[in-house]
Homo-oligomer: A and B are copies of this chain.
Amino acid sequence: MNGAAARMPEASAITVPVPLGDRAYDIHVGRGLLGEAGRRIAALGARAAAIVTDENVGPLYAAALAASLEQNGLRTATIALPPGEATKSYASLERVCDAVLAAKIERGDLVVALGGGVVGDLAGFAAAVVRRGVRFVQIPTTLLSQVDSSVGGKTGINSRHGKNLVGAFHQPSLVLADTGLLDSLPLREMRAGYAEVVKYGLIDDPAFFDWCEKNWRGVFAGGPERDEAVAQSCRSKAAVVVRDEREDGDRALLNLGHTFGHALERITRYDSARLVHGEGVAIGLAQAFRFSAALGLCDEADARRVEAHLAAVGLPTRLSQVPGGYGTVDDILEAMAQDKKVKGGALTFILVRGIGQSFIARDVPVDRVRAFLQDEITPSRP
């Protein structure tokens, strides 16, 4: 595998700049970028890199990445963690920080995250705190992490009090999204990541949603449409993050579909056999549109169109599609209340006036949410 990296021709890449002042960086999107990672990363000027990966991804790509880095003059060490959400723990943070220090990574050196969202969040957090901050590079290996968690600088681990409650804002110095790596992704994971792609169109880019409807087959098949979908998603997210790096305002729009989605993840106890994050988001997106329509904010035709597209790619859009059930209306409301603060009987929601017309709605009465959910679970609905 090592030799293959060196022999590959230079990959063409789409570059998405993230203009965050002295924390600005580029996202490169393209097929085959892993093979030339060493050259692109060496341009950052470090002398050493600690590669953080998991035991699924590591055996596939870590040796090639290390070889590519070493061919370009960087000393490397590799740290492989068990895959899965349980790895985003205090114990893993200690393990990664100590391993990065053992690898003699200095302030000018790098942590390279090679994996999905779990690896990116954990390695990014370790990079934020080792020596009070070293640079890091993201090489996201899932569609979800290429379009979501690798943009925005949020890093962290889970606490027993909730997910992602301990962490740091720490922007990467470079993101390499090799879309060829997605060829071996299970279809279910591909679909789940695609829910976040669609979300960017629904937030504020109706033309991109049109494009998704026309081009989704190419995204799944791995044509140039895949690169474009990843790049456009990164552009969209970057635009929001640049407006609101520390999540005090507009960044909340990125939560479209997530209030309902997180509640379903909580109800299914984060059991990925039942529901993965993107599936919860897909149902949540469809619900956000149906709820907006029920409130008279959005045309019912838009809600039907969103649902139809998500269903076409094989994503769930209805509570009845949650394997093992979703509990009662009160169960869902309680799960939502854990995520969002209920103030005086009202919730903050991301609602829509149409496709690409989302907005932050404060003071949504809980009673309206309850009535909507009641309507969602009546057998008369399809």
Contacts and interface: CB of A to CB of B under 8 A. Distances in A.
Interface of A: 90, 93-94, 97-98, 101-102, 125, 128-133, 154, 156, 159-162, 165-169
A101 B156 CA distance: 15
Contacts of A102: 161
B132 A98 contact: no
A21 B172 CA distance: 24
Contacts of A162: 101
A159 B162 CA distance: 26
B168 A128 contact: yes
Given A90-B90, A102-B161, A97 B166 contact: yes
A128 B166 CA distance: 9
Most chain B beta-carbon neighbours within 10 Å: one of A97, A133, A159, A166: A166
Given A90-B90, A93-B90, A129 B98 contact: no
A339 to B, nearest CB: 14
A47 to B, nearest CB: 12
Given A90-B90, A98-B160, A165 B133 contact: no
Given A129-B168, A133-B168, A169-B133, A94 B101 contact: no
Which of A94, A133, A154 has the most CB atoms of chain B within a 10 A radius of its CB?
Answer: A94
